[in-house]
Amino acid sequence: MGEGRNRATYDATAPMLQTFAILLVFQSVGEVISYALHLPVPGPVLGMILLFGWLVFDDRLLPIIQGTTSELLKHLSLLFVPAGVGIMVHANRIEGEWMPILVALVISTWLAIATTAVVTRVLMRKRTNAPGADAKGEQA
């Protein structure tokens, strides 16, 4: 009786552990690349780019990681708590450097919006020019 309950617990946590292992492998590879090549990009960012590239070309990992990653994304706001604490701890420094921070935020936000607009426009143009596209711009 106890064995069946333990097996059910194992079956429920196995995909989660497998997902964390996959994410940790990609993060570690990103860290190694970042460190070895002295890149100014953090290893976890490189790891997520590598994971994205892997999923683009081979989506066999997707069914394994999809459930756990969806649950993680539901609680993404919790990951901002350390950043909020950091802001509170360094409030004096931020108070002294608020203008460069504000300028950087405004410019980076503007660049992100402009880049998104350009990419969207290019993709929409490709979609409307694609063979088999109807009058609404949707492909048949």
11: confidence class by pLDDT, cuts 50, 70, 90: low
Which pLDDT score, from 0 to 100, does residue 46 have? 92
R_g of the chain computed on alpha carbons: 22
Give residue for tokens 């426009």.
121
Whether pLDDT at 109 is above 90 = yes
- CB contact at 8 A, 26 and 46: no
Residue 1: pLDDT over 60 = no
What is the per-residue pLDDT across 120-138, written as a single tens digit (0 to 9) for each? 999 898 888 777 665 555 5
**Total-model pTM:** 0.53
* Three-state secondary structure string covering the chain: CHHHHHHHHHHHHHHHHHHHHHHHHHHHHHHHHHHHCCCCCCHHHHHHHHHHHHHHHCHHHHHHHHHHHHHHHHCHHHHHHHHHHHHHHCHHHHHHCHHHHHHHHHHHHHHHHHHHHHHHHHHHHHHHHCCCECCCCCEC
Nearest one of 52, 41, 42, 46 to 29, comparing CA atoms: 46
Average pLDDT, the chain: 83
pLDDT at 81: 81
Place of tokens 């683009």: 56
What tens digit of pLDDT does each residue of 64-104 get? 888 888 888 888 788 778 878 888 888 888 888 889 989 99
For residue 140, the model assigns a pLDDT of: 47
